[in-house]
Amino acid sequence: MAEFTSFTDLRAACLDLPAGDTSAADAVARREAELTKPPRSLGRLEDSVAWLARWQGRTPPRLARVEILVFAGNHGVTAQGVSAFPAEVTAQMVANFAAGGAAINQLARIAGASLRVIPILLEQPTADFTAAPAMDEAAFVAAVAAGYDAVAPDADLVCLGEMGIGNTTAAAAVAAALFGGGGARWAGRGTGVDDAGLARKQAVIDTALARHAALLADPLSLAAALGGRELAAILGATLAARRRGIPVLLDGFVSTAAAAPLKKVRADALDHALAGHVSAEAGHRMLLDELGLAPLLDLDMRLGEASGAAIAVLVLRAALACHTGMATFAEAKVAGKSR
Amino acid sequence: MAEFTSFTDLRAACLDLPAGDTSAADAVARREAELTKPPRSLGRLEDSVAWLARWQGRTPPRLARVEILVFAGNHGVTAQGVSAFPAEVTAQMVANFAAGGAAINQLARIAGASLRVIPILLEQPTADFTAAPAMDEAAFVAAVAAGYDAVAPDADLVCLGEMGIGNTTAAAAVAAALFGGGGARWAGRGTGVDDAGLARKQAVIDTALARHAALLADPLSLAAALGGRELAAILGATLAARRRGIPVLLDGFVSTAAAAPLKKVRADALDHALAGHVSAEAGHRMLLDELGLAPLLDLDMRLGEASGAAIAVLVLRAALACHTGMATFAEAKVAGKSR
């Protein structure tokens, strides 16, 4: 269970992180070099298995229990007309997840992953952050704890996604606060706003950055002021996974922005996280670059719901199957390199 | 069965191609627009389902029977020292495929695909094409026919891969002949040659282009002079799939170069083919650009064996699962766009 009830506690937890198991990763690399293929010819598949081993602390790594967590939240800033869809769609989509009708339901099944959808106080949207901090300290820390506690200690991998009408605006505000550049750099079309909606998003972000300028030096304070409950939960889940030896697949722009403050608290805090994909949302590629994350997939998706991360699970399963199932040169009596 | 025994027959078959079923693709797009997600937010997943429907002529498309065909051949040009591995590895890897120890065995299982490995006259390497055409007309057409006849008429999708020590040199020569630029543009490190090996590859390709200059105006003649039996078989399989209403996933540089001559015979001849991935082999991205093919994946792989195409099957399965399994806005009672 989460052991923090304030920014101070949470910051201490964010600084207290285990290192990865480099010997497990090295053992993976040694085996990869013996398998019947030219050295390094499986590229990112090989890297992915080593990364899983490093952060699970186990060789070979395991993907028996893959969990997809989708956090949902509502956003007061939707009053500013920043989304193409009405705010009630958040709850309607949560019902759609429960009924099995959303994209992530299909993708979780294909990926062999369990799906858990965790709505966080949908009936209490965050404050409109152009007028007040989205969340106060207590509300933020509680949402972080909800995410933290959602991570099963025995999971082998967690995929972190979200649903929340208005949350690309929150994510863009967080990214702008962390990395500079304002609304013009970070606002994108989200679920599909028109040009006027995009201009409103940019203005809303710039207004919020100005209003909360005094808070922006602290990554956790800015996440509370500009983020959302589902973003806070993703931050908490990312932190919990690291502390429990579980690798994380991040999803799109919102998921990545949600976890990003951790890296400002401690530079290696996202080393156990892989970007499942780069989305078509405008700021995502820039944000990944700022974080030094190289996405596994680039499929022009922009849905959220952990959909990109779920597809990345398939790549990891392929990678692990090669690692564990292939014969070595010696076993197969295949000759090695001659020059 | 293949009905051609000469360049002339084969050229006629390459020109006699069915068009895609645009109404099937349109039906897919109409359903995608009704599913519970922002319009176009599944990006290339949506495009992939429409592409499958178009070339299967069926809505929804089906992926019940996915076939991976791996053709193997030997190359006289290996005498020039163009590969990091000795030529006997081709047969050794075919044995490894049969024993289930190669990467593609693991990937086919993960992809839910059947795998067939088809060695073509391994005991008769093609001629060293610096000295003579790799194949004469009869040998080339026979290898094309072997690939043509390997495509099961009731397959829903075929993945085309290869194994053949020396075949990145052949592929680079074919690409250079089709698109210009010589050995310096197209030679890559293949299974991992050193700088001296790379220089030899470039020189070998330029020698071959000069020797066979009189043949290079004809795409089929150049494929015979510079290619290999497994490349010819991939060309034949690509052609057969088109004529039988089966979409094709190409794999890496060799697989793509093998099919490329078809596009020079008829400009739309590869419209039923998707590039499963872009490999790390130097020329592949350029070759895809020349062909107007956008790869689904970019995982820094360079193994061949249809390994990249097999992983792309997973993406197609994810795409189809979303298309067929998701609820519509009306079914899920989710509100549509408000602005």
**In the predicted model, is pLDDT for residue A153 greater than 90?**
yes
Q: Which residue of B has its CA nearest to A319?
A: B107
Flag if A106 and B322 touch (Cβ within 8 Å).
yes
| B24/A contact by beta carbon, under 8 A | no
Non-local (6+) Cβ contacts of A232 within 8 A are: A135, A140, A143, A144, A146, A147, A223, A224, A258
Tokens found for residue A134? 């989205």
Asked if A107 and B335 come within 8 Å (Cβ–Cβ), the reply is no
Helix (H) / strand (E) element for A116: namely strand A114-119
CA distance B302 to B280: 5
**Distances A280 to A173, A188, A277, A316, B338 between C-alpha atoms, Å:** 18, 9, 10, 22, 21
User: Which residue in B31, B90, B300, B315 has the most chain A C-beta atoms within 10 A of its own C-beta, making it the best mutation to test that interface?
Assistant: B300
Could you tell me the pLDDT band of residue A2, with boundaries at 50, 70 and 90?
Answer: confident
Min Cα distance B4 → chain A (Å) is 36
pLDDT of the residue at A337: 82
Residue B339, pLDDT score: 66
Which residues of A have a catalytic role annotated?
305
Gap between the Cα atoms of A279 and A163, Å rounded: 15
SS3 state at A72: strand
Segments in chain B below pLDDT 70: 339
For residue A301, give the nearest of B42, B107, B111 by CB distance.
Answer: B42
Residue B120: per-residue pLDDT: 98
User: Is the pLDDT confidence value at A264 over 90?
Assistant: yes
- The answer to whether the beta carbons of residues A334 and B92 sit under 8 Å apart is yes
Contact flag B37-A303 (C-beta cutoff 8 Å): yes
pLDDT recorded at residue A339 = 66
Question: Residue B68 contacts by C-beta under 8 Å, 6 or more apart in sequence?
Answer: B104, B108, B111, B113, B114, B115, B116, B158, B159, B161, B306, B309, B310
Cβ contacts of B71 within 8 Å, gap of 6 or more: B118, B119, B120, B146, B147, B150, B160, B161, B162, B163, B229, B230, B233, B234, B237
Give residue B3's pLDDT.
83
The reported pLDDT for the residue numbered A35 is 98
Displacement of CA A306 from its chain's centroid (Å): 8
The mean of the pLDDT values for chain B is 97
Residue A26: count other Cβ atoms within 10 Å of its Cβ: 14
- State whether residue A191 sits within 8 Å of chain B by CB: yes
Q: Does the distance separating the beta carbons of B192 and A103 come in below 8 Å?
A: no
pLDDT at A124: 97
Question: Residues B46, B67, B162, B305: which is the catalytic one?
Answer: B305
Q: Does A311 touch chain B (CB under 8 A)?
A: yes
pLDDT of residue A58: 97
How many Å apart are CA A290 and CA A286, to the nearest integer? Answer: 6
In sequence order, which ranges of A100-194 are alpha helices (DSSP H)? 103-111, 137-150, 167-179, 182-186
Return the HEC string of B249-279.
EECCHHHHHHHHHHHHHCCCCCCCEEECECC
Distance CA A326, CA A216 (A): 50
In the structure, what pLDDT confidence band is assigned to residue A3 with cuts at 50, 70 and 90? confident
Amino acid at A148: Y
CB B278 within 8 A of CB B298: yes
Q: Which of residues 137-166 of B touch A (CB under 8 A)?
A: none
Contact B44 A333 (CB under 8 A): no
Q: How far apart are CA A135 and CA B232, in angstroms?
A: 64
pLDDT digits (tens, 9 = 90+) for A179-222: 999 999 999 999 899 999 999 999 999 999 999 999 999 999 99
The answer, for B286 touching chain A at a CB cutoff of 8 Å, is no
Phi, psi (degrees; rounded to nearest 5) at B71: -95, 140
- A199 to chain B, any CB pair closer than 8 A? The answer is no
Q: Of B330, B324, B333, nearest to B63 (Cα)?
A: B324
Is B106 close to A321, i.e. CB distance below 8 A?
yes
Q: How many CB atoms lie within 10 A of CB A229?
A: 33
From B3's Cα to the closest Cα of chain A, the distance in A is 37
Region A144-170: mean pLDDT is 98
Q: Which residue of B has its CA nearest to A98?
A: B332
| B330–A contact, CB cutoff 8 A | no
Share of chain A above pLDDT 90, in %: 97
CA distances to B139, B320, B323 from B45, rounded to whole Å, are 40, 8, 9
Retrieve residue A124's tokens: 């209490």
Nearest chain A residue to B328 by CA distance is A101
A155, A65 Cβ separation under 8 angstroms: yes
**CB of A195 less than 8 A from some CB of B:** no
Supply the pLDDT for residue B254: 98
Query: Mean of the per-residue pLDDT values for chain A?
Result: 97
In this prediction, residue A70 has a pLDDT band, given cuts at 50, 70 and 90, of very high
CB contacts of A168 in chain B (<8 Å) are: none
At A297 the three-state DSSP class reads strand
Question: Do residues B308 and B277 lie in contact, with contact meaning Cβ atoms separated by under 8 Å?
Answer: yes
Q: What is the pTM of this model?
A: 0.98
**Chain B nearest CA to A271, separation (Å):** 19
d(CA A137, CA A143): 10
